[in-house]
Amino acid sequence: MSEAHAAIDYGSYLRLDEMLALQTPQSSPEHPDELLFIVVHQSSELWFKVLRHELDALITALEQFDTMRALLATQRVNVLTEIVAQQLSALDTLPPQRFAQFRGYLGTSSGSQSAQFRAIEATAGLRDPHFLATISEHGDPPEAVRAALSREPLQTLVLALLAHDQVELEALYMGPAPTPMFLLVEGLLEFEQRFARWRFLHVQLVERIIGPLTGGSGGTLGAKYLSRTVSQRFFPELWAVRTKFYGR
């Protein structure tokens, strides 16, 4: 170990002084619930950062036609997505009348301005006109989102991997035993499900705190707008293959 590394301890390695100074409630006098509100958002953004990193690893593995590495990356992506969804429940303890006491201090800030969230959606594969309109709502899309849009959607990459291995998507569901490719494809579907679970838990949280009809600080119809996003799909072909077993 070098001398410089020996001097590193828990606080300096994790830069805790800087990190713990980043929660700055705006309410005055400070509302006792605003710290929780900030921390759930900040920690979600931290997990989004790791999620984006792991999605990059997944894309690299798919581009290299490396099924096992893609499978491992998908497993991690799925755990991270679950964590980020579950932490919304901390805000279920924020009653509506108490949020109303400090909501005015947030200005026009809204989760819909989260560049990382949009970058994750773009990386996963959203390209529909509604999504493209959403990312341009606050001016030019942020660099992270534009970079994500310039890559192939995950579904295209996984279908290319199947073609490379000369396996039909449908055939994965026919074989006598599950293959790594089957587990990968089902793992990606699981990612979609967990992401949609975040959307659902978030819309329920929004309804619980501001009600079904209150507009959002980002200018949308609030819960009404959000509930429509729950049915967005990253992997329409992975869903569609199921119907083949049941006819129309």
Q: How many C-beta neighbours within 10 Å does residue 56 have?
A: 14
Which one among 31, 44, 85, 234 touches ligand HEM, defined by CB under 6 A? Answer: 44
Binding flag, residue 40, ligand HEM (CB under 6 A): yes
Binding flag, residue 70, ligand HEM (CB under 6 A): no
CB–CB of 197/89 below 8 Å? no
* C-alpha 8: how far from chain center: 33
Query: Which C-beta is closer to ligand HEM: that of 35 or that of 68?
Result: 35
d(CA 11, CA 18): 10
Contacts of ligand HEM in 149-188 (CB under 6 A): none
Q: Which stretch binds ligand HEM (CB under 6 A): 18-26, 64-72, 110-118, 140-148?
A: 110-118
Query: Which C-beta is closer to ligand HEM: that of 78 or that of 217?
Result: 217
d(CA 142, CA 148): 10
Binding flag, residue 201, ligand HEM (CB under 6 A): no
* C-alpha 1: how far from chain center: 38
Q: Which stretch binds ligand HEM (CB under 6 A): 6-14, 21-29, 104-112, 146-154?
A: 104-112
Binding flag, residue 95, ligand HEM (CB under 6 A): no
Residues found in the chain: 248
Binding flag, residue 142, ligand HEM (CB under 6 A): no
Binding flag, residue 52, ligand HEM (CB under 6 A): no
Binding flag, residue 88, ligand HEM (CB under 6 A): yes
CA dihedral 152, 155, 158, 162 (to 10 degrees): -120
Nearest to 34 by CA among 101, 96, 88, 86: 101
CB–CB of 38/90 below 8 Å? no
Binding site for ligand HEM (CB under 6 A): 40-41, 44, 88, 91, 94, 99, 110-112, 114, 117, 202, 205-206, 209-210, 216-220, 222, 225-226, 229
